[in-house]
Amino acid sequence: MAFLTLQGISKRYGDFTAIEHIDLDVERGELLALLGPSGCGKTTTLQMVAGFVSPTTGRILLDGRDITNERPEKRGIGVVFQSYALFPHMTVAGNVGFGLEMRKVRRKEREERVAEALSLVRLKGLGHRYPKELSGGQRQRVAIARAIAMEPELLLLDEPMSNLDAKLREEMHIELRAIQKRLGITTILVTHDQVEAMTMSDRIAVMHRGVIAQLSTPYDAYERPATPFASTFLGRTNAFSGEVLRRNPRCAEVDVAGTTLHVPHEGRHVDGAVHVYIRPEKVHLANGDARLRGRIATRVFVGNQWLLEVDTELGKLRVAQPNHGAPPPEEGHEVGLAWTDDDLRVLTQDSSEGAHGHA
Ligand SMILES: Nc1ncnc2c1ncn2[C@@H]1O[C@H](COP(=O)(O)OP(=O)(O)OP(=O)(O)O)[C@@H](O)[C@H]1O
Ligand SMILES: [Mg+2]
Domain ranges of the chain: 4-228, 238-348
Answer whether 52 contacts ligand 1 (Cβ < 6 A): no
Q: What CATH architecture is 4-228?
A: 3-Layer(aba) Sandwich (3.40)
Question: What is the pLDDT confidence band of residue 356, given thresholds at 50, 70 and 90?
Answer: low
Residue 15 CA to ligand 2 center (angstroms) comes to 20
> pLDDT band at 177, cuts 50/70/90?
very high
Return mean pLDDT, the chain: 92
pLDDT confidence band for 359 (50 / 70 / 90): very low
Give residue 16's Cα distance to chain centre.
Answer: 24
pLDDT tens, residue by residue, 297-326: 999 999 999 999 999 999 999 999 999 889
pLDDT, position 246: 95
Give me the pLDDT at residue 91, please.
Answer: 97
CA neighbor of 111 nearest in space, from 119, 225, 64, 53:
119
pLDDT of residue 354: 54
Express each pLDDT in 52-110 by its tens digit.
999 999 999 999 999 999 999 899 899 998 777 899 999 999 999 999 999 999 999 99
The percent of residues above 90 in pLDDT, for the chain, comes to 79
* 146, 117 Cβ separation under 8 angstroms: yes
pLDDT over 70 percentage in the chain: 97
How many CB atoms neighbour CB 327 within 10 A?
A: 10
Relative to the alpha carbon of 18, which ligand is closest?
1
Tell which phi-psi region holds residue 190, choosing left (phi > 0), alpha (psi between -120 and 50) or beta.
beta
pLDDT score of 353 more than 80: no
Query: Ligand 1 centre and the CA of 55: distance in Å?
Result: 14
Instruction: Please give the average per-residue pLDDT across 224-250, as a whole number.
Output: 92
Indicate if ligand 1 lies below 6 Å from the C-beta of 191: no
Ligand 1 contact, 48 CB (< 6 A): no
Q: Which residue has the higher pLDDT, 109 or 269?
A: 109
> Which of 22, 44, 358 gets mutated to test ligand 1 (max ligand atoms within 8 A of its CB)?
44
| pLDDT value for 289 | 87
Distance 253 CA to ligand 1 centre (A): 41
Nearest atom, ligand 1, residue 44 CA: 18
Please state which of the ranges 90-99, 123-132, 262-271, 331-340 shows the lowest mean pLDDT: 262-271
Q: Are strands 4-13 and 16-26 parallel, antiparallel or unpaired?
A: antiparallel
Q: What are the φ and ψ backbone dihedral angles of 233, each rounded to 5 degrees?
A: -75, -40
Query: What is the predicted pLDDT for the residue at 142?
Result: 94
pLDDT at 24: 98
Q: How many helices (H) and strands (E) does the chain have?
A: 8, 20
Residue 341 pLDDT > 50: yes
Same fold, 4-228 and 238-348: no
Write the residue with the smallest CA distance to atom 20 of ligand 1. Answer: 39
Task: Indicate which atom in ligand 1 lies nearest the CA of residue 45.
Answer: 18
Question: d(Cα 177, Cα 157) in Å, to the nearest integer?
Answer: 12
- If you measure from the C-alpha of residue 176 to the centroid of ligand 1, how many angstroms do you get, rounded to a whole number? 26
Centre of ligand 1 from the C-alpha of residue 204, in Å: 20
Q: What is the mean pLDDT of residues 150-161?
A: 92
Evaluate whether 46 touches 158 at the Cβ level (below 8 Å): yes
User: Which residue has the least CA distance to atom 2 on ligand 1?
Assistant: 13
Question: Is residue 17 scored above 90 in pLDDT?
Answer: yes
Is residue 328 over pLDDT 80? yes
pTM of the model: 0.89
238-348 CATH: 2.40.50.140
Residue 358 pLDDT greater than 50, yes or no: no
Q: In 3D, which of 190, 99, 106, 104 has the Cα closest to residue 152? A: 99
CA-47 nearest atom, ligand 1: 18
Angle at 341 between CA 337 and CA 347, to 5 degrees: 110
